[in-house]
Chain A
């Protein structure tokens, strides 16, 4: 061990990063105003230097975690010597200070990458400067308000380990990482939007130059939200994945506005409309990530996730207000250049449907925001303590989701500007036919509830729409050549990555809608008492509690039951639901075990404590139809996003020639 502890070393790296980021702001502002190329080059190096310094800070923290250096405050407060290696690695983002450090590091990675790869356009300098300003905030917060590198005195011998809910599942290693990558990814289009406003070029350049960044950010955010749902499903023990909890809601808000954004930018790209709208949407998206962090990190909304309060929340609120006020002032200043000169030719057109979809996404976002903030409003006004239950969110957003699904089927089939009535009505006929047929089948199978029937009908509608889209692309290509159908489709998919990627994502949305519908409307949730050695029937299954067990590892004790699951006399699997108790933590964590099947999941959770001499066990049994398809849909959507992002050879070549890239699709 050297004389300098890891704590001071980490602090040094963090403050060095702060200095570089401030230099990035200063040289960026001066360089942009004076159009000084040397200063601007220096600002780009500041981005790279900040990233290196932040990487050093992260490395120091990881070394401290892995070597159990409890002289570092974050390690002492959140780590534990006996934890397994992977838990120690991910402990970096298991608590507030470390998460902020990670967020700052990922942001610096994007900033550095942007400094290197961003094409030399008039927008680059102010965009990089905006990144530097955001970066400064995201270093100031961990450096000043939530310092992870304080030196402990006296040095504790061991720490409590991370929150047991977090070390109980590997998914926790993935979810926050994806979430920050999403937030940070959406910072890039925001930075370009601000640059466009400052430099007085609020046309379409900013949006075309950040198209891929937007999609990357959106893709990570989508993956983050779905993996978060999967984590709750596997860990929280109630057999669901979405509870409309404030923490979930605030991650969903920027997703909704970002989804609106990736659709409306296409209208601007093609029709040069919605300039102001798109600027406002990306400003809103970025601001909502800050507002969300404020709400969840300040203790103003009560949540099962209970992050507690501290000075970090108010800092985020302040930054949120500054960003909102500053950005809106810029928009107002440039309003004359932003105002749309073009007009919709006809509402029944691609742009008309995208616009309607945008309004719906914003209405959903508004409902979710209102439901999340409403308890605060009521308490401020009347003093009553209320919660807004899940039924509110379902009632307010389900009708809107249905219209979103309706539009998702029509929009991509409509041409820009104005639809040909004949093609349109023939398309609508096929889609309506598919919708009616799907609903009729569901009705015949005994489904009677309105939203499940609507969802099934709209799935048929959308599948027909995707088939028509594919046919519309393939049939003309078949006529001109002698290639087979498979070749033509493969060729089309390969040549039109963006278009085909969006079809994959939309297909994922249909699968997701069906999974959500079935798993929430037809879910069975019961507590069952079974004597050890006995068998109990449950729907078409039987459960046999073979035995109870106790086992202990270096860092936890588990007490659980061995449950055989039979269907029609065949053994499907043996599930091992248990209660984990982590050393150093007082909380016991019920740990469900799940049998994943295509038609439904069997989810078992221990509902009452188990001891070696327990004569019976109480199990919470949840059987959710099609819930696996929610995760599969997540993979499909992620794949579609990646597919849309991979450049075609043709596009890659033309990007080299013209920095704007080619407009395929």
Chain B
């Protein structure tokens, strides 16, 4: 006859778990975006951790092997942002390769603590006037 008590307790636990799950999910969703998407987002991604994908812009890579600071610019050909990464460049990191950096924007600079090279991606800059296929770039990087 006390069955309803357990029912109530069970539902209570489920609601509690649901609340924890919901709170945790909204805090820790990490969006994957390209530089141009960040530019047009209007600050939506400013205070949260994101994954930023793009191509390492040629001629922008600088590595300080004393302080182990890596700086480069990431681009999707529409928009370019500077990236600061603490640590050494990973294997296969070079100009014009696809990368995904994880971290957050601070004053227009993306501060990364995780740098992944997407080496299967071979980027070809579009010919003049030809639009770059943003969706295809995003799919290959994801």
Tell me if A386 counts as interface (CB < 8 A to partner B): yes
Given contacts A385-B138, A529-B65, A607-B87, contact A391 B17 (CB under 8 A): no
Shortest B31–chain A CB gap in Å is 5
Tell me if A415 counts as interface (CB < 8 A to partner B): no
Residues of A within 8 A of B89 (CB): 608
List the B residue with the shortest CB-CB distance to A616: B65
Which of A147-155, A359-367, A460-468, A643-651 sits within the interface? A359-367
List the A residue with the shortest CB-CB distance to B23: A395
Tell me if B1 counts as interface (CB < 8 A to partner A): yes
Tell me if A325 counts as interface (CB < 8 A to partner B): no
Contact of A527 with B17 in the complex, beta carbons under 8 Å: no
Given contacts A343-B3, A385-B32, contact A392 B25 (CB under 8 A): yes
List the B residue with the shortest CB-CB distance to A385: B32
Residues of A within 8 A of B31 (CB): 384-386
Tell me if A475 counts as interface (CB < 8 A to partner B): no
Contact of A389 with B30 in the complex, beta carbons under 8 Å: yes
Shortest A26–chain B CB gap in Å is 43
List the B residue with the shortest CB-CB distance to A607: B88
Residues of A within 8 A of B14 (CB): 359, 363
Most interface-central of A356, A366, A389 (chain B CB within 10 A): A389
Tell me if A59 counts as interface (CB < 8 A to partner B): no
Which of B5-13, B73-81, B104-112, B125-133 sits within the interface? B5-13
Contact of B24 with A396 in the complex, beta carbons under 8 Å: yes
Which of A115-123, A370-378, A633-641 sits within the interface? A370-378
Tell me if A388 counts as interface (CB < 8 A to partner B): yes
Shortest B24–chain A CB gap in Å is 4
Shortest B16–chain A CB gap in Å is 8
Please measure, in the bound complex, the distance between the C-alpha atom of A356 and the C-alpha atom of B14, giving whole angstroms: 11
Residues of B within 8 A of A343 (CB): 1-3
Please measure, in the bound complex, the distance between the C-alpha atom of A567 and the C-alpha atom of B18, giving whole angstroms: 48
Tell me if A588 counts as interface (CB < 8 A to partner B): yes
Tell me if A310 counts as interface (CB < 8 A to partner B): no
Please measure, in the bound complex, the distance between the C-alpha atom of A391 and the C-alpha atom of B28, giving whole angstroms: 6
Contact of A399 with B20 in the complex, beta carbons under 8 Å: yes
Please measure, in the bound complex, the distance between the C-alpha atom of A396 and the C-alpha atom of B23, giving whole angstroms: 8
Contact of B68 with A302 in the complex, beta carbons under 8 Å: no
Tell me if A609 counts as interface (CB < 8 A to partner B): yes
Shortest B123–chain A CB gap in Å is 18
Residues of A within 8 A of B23 (CB): 395
Tell me if A344 counts as interface (CB < 8 A to partner B): yes
Interface string of A119-142 (1 = CB under 8 A from B): 000000000000000000000000
Please measure, in the bound complex, the distance between the C-alpha atom of A344 and the C-alpha atom of B31, giving whole angstroms: 47
Please measure, in the bound complex, the distance between the C-alpha atom of A395 and the C-alpha atom of B142, giving whole angstroms: 25
Contact of A529 with B51 in the complex, beta carbons under 8 Å: no
Number of residues on chain A facing chain B (CB within 8 A): 38
Please measure, in the bound complex, the distance between the C-alpha atom of A469 and the C-alpha atom of B117, giving whole angstroms: 54
Tell me if B21 counts as interface (CB < 8 A to partner A): yes
Please measure, in the bound complex, the distance between the C-alpha atom of A385 and the C-alpha atom of B50, giving whole angstroms: 11
Contact of A608 with B88 in the complex, beta carbons under 8 Å: yes
Tell me if B96 counts as interface (CB < 8 A to partner A): no
Number of residues on chain B facing chain A (CB within 8 A): 34
Tell me if B136 counts as interface (CB < 8 A to partner A): no
Contact of A391 with B88 in the complex, beta carbons under 8 Å: no
Contact of A370 with B66 in the complex, beta carbons under 8 Å: no
Given contacts A386-B32, A387-B30, A396-B21, contact A363 B13 (CB under 8 A): yes
Please measure, in the bound complex, the distance between the C-alpha atom of A75 and the C-alpha atom of B30, giving whole angstroms: 40
Shortest A52–chain B CB gap in Å is 43
Tell me if A562 counts as interface (CB < 8 A to partner B): no
Shortest A427–chain B CB gap in Å is 22
Tell me if A347 counts as interface (CB < 8 A to partner B): yes
Please measure, in the bound complex, the distance between the C-alpha atom of A607 and the C-alpha atom of B32, giving whole angstroms: 25
Scan residues 370-423 of chain A and give those whose CB is less than 8 A from a CB of chain B.
Answer: 370-371, 374, 378, 384-396, 399-400
Given contacts A529-B66, A618-B68, contact A395 B87 (CB under 8 A): no
Most interface-central of B86, B88, B142 (chain A CB within 10 A): B88
Residue of A378, A385, A392, A607 touching B28 (CB-CB under 8 A): A392
Contact of B87 with A527 in the complex, beta carbons under 8 Å: yes
Please measure, in the bound complex, the distance between the C-alpha atom of A359 and the C-alpha atom of B14, giving whole angstroms: 8
Shortest B35–chain A CB gap in Å is 15
Scan residues 17-66 of chain B and give those whose CB is less than 8 A from a CB of chain A.
Answer: 17, 20-21, 23-25, 27-33, 49, 51, 65-66
Please measure, in the bound complex, the distance between the C-alpha atom of A527 and the C-alpha atom of B65, giving whole angstroms: 11
Contact of A374 with B25 in the complex, beta carbons under 8 Å: yes
Residues of B within 8 A of A389 (CB): 28-30, 49
Residues of B within 8 A of A385 (CB): 31-33, 138, 142
Tell me if B91 counts as interface (CB < 8 A to partner A): yes
Please measure, in the bound complex, the distance between the C-alpha atom of A18 and the C-alpha atom of B65, giving whole angstroms: 60
Residues of B within 8 A of A347 (CB): 2, 5-6, 9
Residues of A within 8 A of B5 (CB): 347
Residue of B10, B66, B86, B142 touching A527 (CB-CB under 8 A): B86
Residues of A within 8 A of B13 (CB): 356, 359-360, 363
Shortest A101–chain B CB gap in Å is 28
Residues of B within 8 A of A378 (CB): 29
Contact of B30 with A370 in the complex, beta carbons under 8 Å: no
Residue of A344, A359, A390 touching B2 (CB-CB under 8 A): A344
Residue of A359, A384, A393, A618 touching B10 (CB-CB under 8 A): A359
Scan residues 293-321 of chain A and give those whose CB is less than 8 A from a CB of chain B.
Answer: 302
Contact of B27 with A395 in the complex, beta carbons under 8 Å: yes
Residues of B within 8 A of A392 (CB): 24-25, 27-29
Contact of B68 with A527 in the complex, beta carbons under 8 Å: yes
Please measure, in the bound complex, the distance between the C-alpha atom of A520 and the C-alpha atom of B83, giving whole angstroms: 28
Please measure, in the bound complex, the distance between the C-alpha atom of A356 and the C-alpha atom of B28, giving whole angstroms: 28
Please measure, in the bound complex, the distance between the C-alpha atom of A363 and the C-alpha atom of B16, giving whole angstroms: 10
Give me 28 A-to-B residue pairs in the complex whose CB atoms sit less than 8 angstroms apart, sorted by A's number.
A302-B142, A344-B2, A347-B5, A347-B6, A356-B13, A360-B13, A366-B21, A367-B24, A371-B25, A374-B25, A384-B32, A386-B32, A387-B29, A387-B51, A388-B30, A391-B27, A392-B28, A393-B24, A395-B24, A396-B21, A396-B24, A527-B88, A529-B65, A588-B91, A608-B88, A609-B91, A618-B68, A618-B88
Besides A355-B6, A370-B21, A391-B28, 11 new A-B residue pairs in contact (Cβ under 8 A), listed by A number: A344-B2, A359-B13, A374-B29, A388-B25, A392-B24, A393-B24, A396-B20, A527-B68, A588-B91, A607-B88, A608-B88
Q: 3 tightest CB-CB pairs across the interface, nearest first?
A: A395-B24, A392-B28, A363-B17
B contacts, CB < 8 Å to A: 1-3, 5-6, 9-10, 13-14, 17, 20-21, 23-25, 27-33, 49, 51, 65-66, 68, 86-89, 91, 138, 142
